[in-house]
Amino acid sequence: MKKAIMAVTIFVLLLATLSGCSSPKSDFTAALKKVTENKQYTTNVTFEINDLSSNYIQQFGPDVSLTQLKKSNLQYKISVDSDSSSSYSGFSLHWAGNKPLDLTLHALQNSDDGKAYIPVSDIYDASDSISSLLTDSTAKIFNEVLAENKDLESKYLNFFETIQNFSNQTIDTETVDRQAAELKKIEEKSGIAIYTYLNDLDDHHFTAKDNGDIVLKLSKNEISDLINEVMDTLDDDGNVVTLISEINSSTQKEAEATWKSQQKAIRSSLKNLTSKKQQSLEFKLTLTPDSKKGFSKATIDTDYKDTATNKSMSFTTTIDMLDYEEVPPMPKGNEIVSKKELDKAISDGLKLYLGSSMQ
């Protein structure tokens, strides 16, 4: 009996010792795993430019400066509720150019079927920013259409059906469902491929800072391997080909040719990157673990240089895990803009355009 008690005691102590042993890599993967286990969470992602060579800045136009770019940012915020299979996301653009712009668009998505709904109120809220991007005559028509269809402001647009309607395709609910389902599969399998690759990395890629943060560094060859790994996964499953076929209304063979062409271009760029010593790419991810959220903050610093062409770019992506913000309920019935209502709004715009062009 005493031997049995001693054996159990030793076993418990062994488990306690093992559970207390951790490494930067195990803490890193545990943090990522914890995030995926959370049934409800809210995340905010911010993208900012730190530096950009003049040959890249010129591509934005003659009136754009590095200072303007550094003061601008892109943000993506999303709340996920796994229990209701729903999420609410917001994409925000802050542009500090000569004509400042602040634009935010939200999307309410059902993760079971992938359907996404956009609140029409976002278009009304952003009417001034949108108008600033248009010519005076077009802006006038845009605002008149909004005024004439004020009853739609509290409703939602079905994203996929709206896109199909504007592309002059017949709205087919089954097609929308299939596209959404394929997109969901692609997102899930890409995530698994990335996690698997990072989990298989050697321990020396991960280091711990005195404040508890974990740092992951990847070389340009490893970044290339990661992207190729994701493409191989998607290639094996065939979901991308199916989605391309659905979107382009093409045959499976034509979609396969399109996907292979896209893959070839990406792989060629990666091969060019890894083979040329003049090109460098540094990737550093700093993670702040959190016992409840998985991590409270993740900062990704990416730096690219090409000494042969004097091209360089440096940018930071910051991921903040916020306190959970409730996801609004999915719209139903007359809460969704119907095809008839959408056609009327489009028709109103065309009438105003034709009327102005004849004056």
Q: Which residues lie closer than 8 Å to 283 by C-beta, 6 or more apart?
A: 217, 218, 219, 222, 223, 300, 301, 302
From the number of C-beta atoms within 10 Å of its C-beta (0-12, 13-18, 19+), residue 120 rates as buried
pLDDT at 12: 40
pTM of the complete model: 0.81
Identify the pLDDT of residue 22.
66
The pLDDT assigned to 357 comes to: 63
pLDDT of residue 251: 86
Contact 41, 83 (CB under 8 A): no
- Residues of the chain below pLDDT 70: 1-22, 114, 167-173, 176, 357-359
pLDDT value at residue 15: 37
What was the pLDDT predicted at 252? 87
Residues 6+ apart with CB under 8 A from 169: 249
Q: Which of 319, 287, 296, 359 is nearest to 140 (CA)?
A: 359
**Tell me: the pLDDT tens digits for 203-253?**
999 999 999 999 999 999 999 999 999 999 888 778 888 888 878 878 889
- Are the C-beta atoms of 287 and 28 separated by less than 8 Å? yes
Task: Write down the pLDDT at residue 358.
Answer: 60
pLDDT at position 112: 75
Q: What is the predicted pLDDT for the residue at 37?
A: 84
Tens of pLDDT along 31-75? Answer: 888 888 888 999 999 999 999 999 999 998 888 999 999 999 999
The pLDDT of residue 161 is 80
Using CB atoms within 10 Å of the CB of residue 18, give its burial: 0 to 12 exposed, 13 to 18 middle, 19+ buried: exposed
**Which DSSP state fits 336?**
B
CA atoms of 88 and 106, how far apart (whole Å): 7
User: In order of start, what are the domains of the chain with their CATH numbers?
Assistant: 22-120+155-328 (2.50.20)
